[in-house]
């Protein structure tokens, strides 16, 4: 089975418990990270790729008063998102659909911003996905990306890695019944490129004015790139 299909099936299986797990294991600080990213988002049209259950899309629509289109490969995650969008009374502002970031259906220059929150590490072909994101951005538009990272300070990093690889899979496995999924997720974070490597990769894909911010000692990392 192709990697993309394995990822889709994994997220379909854990979708009902995904929000509760994230908020529990991050002690709710994931909401703070999303709000920190908002300052880089402007313009009336936003594409939220790998939108999952819609937390970031809903936050953007509520706080930036703009239209948001969410795209994700997992119908299970999108089902949760639709429920949350309706509960927030944002059906006019937020829509979502199944889609692949490596082959977006939108025309060039469609969006003022493209966002990805904690999803880039799951992309099968990261170069193809970033070039598609660049294509659908208008000139001057921004790509705003949040991703989990590894703290730079060694004592904190050791404690974080223990928690991330031992505690989280145990809690996530019990909540979802899919322990393999919660072994994959920490591994995908630990194997993701570091800030220097990733910002260089963004530039190689065509982004200008690439920036990086470490949040919460580097547990989360914010990346911003602009379409020239």
Q: Is residue 182 within 8 Å of residue 168, measured between CB atoms?
A: yes
What average pLDDT score do residues 31-45 get? Answer: 94
Q: CB neighbours of 198 closer than 8 A, spacing ≥ 6? A: 192, 212, 223
What size, in residues, is the chain? 228
What average pLDDT score do residues 123-151 get? Answer: 96
Please state the pTM of the whole predicted model. 0.93
pLDDT tens track for 210-221: 999 999 999 999
CA dihedral 218, 200, 197, 133 (to 10 degrees): 70
pLDDT tens track for 181-227: 778 888 888 899 999 999 999 999 999 999 999 999 999 999 999 99
Alpha-carbon span 59 to 38, nearest angstrom: 9
CA proximity to 128, closest of 24, 38, 49, 20: 49
């Amino acid at each position: 089975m192709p990697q993309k299909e394995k990822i889709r099936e994994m997220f379909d299986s854990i979708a009902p418990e995904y929000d509760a797990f994230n908020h529990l294991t991050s002690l709710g600080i994931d909401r703070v990270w999303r709000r920190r990213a908002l300052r880089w988002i402007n313009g009336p049209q936003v594409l939220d790729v790998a939108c999952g259950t819609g937390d970031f899309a809903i936050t953007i629509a509520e706080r930036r008063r703009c239209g948001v289109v969410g795209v994700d490969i997992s119908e299970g995650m999108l089902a949760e998102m639709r429920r949350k969008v309706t509960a927030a009374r944002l059906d006019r502002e937020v829509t979502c659909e199944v889609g692949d970031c490596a082959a977006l259906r939108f025309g060039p220059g469609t969006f003022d911003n493209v966002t990805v929150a904690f999803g880039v590490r799951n992309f099968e072909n990261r170069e193809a996905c970033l070039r598609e994101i660049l294509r659908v951005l208008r000139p001057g538009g921004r790509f705003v990306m949040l991703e989990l990272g590894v703290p730079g300070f060694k004592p904190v990093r050791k404690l974080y890695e223990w928690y991330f690889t031992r505690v989280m899979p145990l809690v996530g496995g019990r909540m979802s019944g899919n322990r393999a999924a919660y072994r994959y997720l920490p591994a995908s974070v630990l194997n993701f490129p570091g800030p220097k490597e990733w910002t260089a990769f963004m530039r190689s894909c065509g982004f200008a004015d690439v920036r990086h911010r470490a949040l919460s000692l580097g547990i989360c990392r914010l990346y911003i790139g602009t379409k020239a």
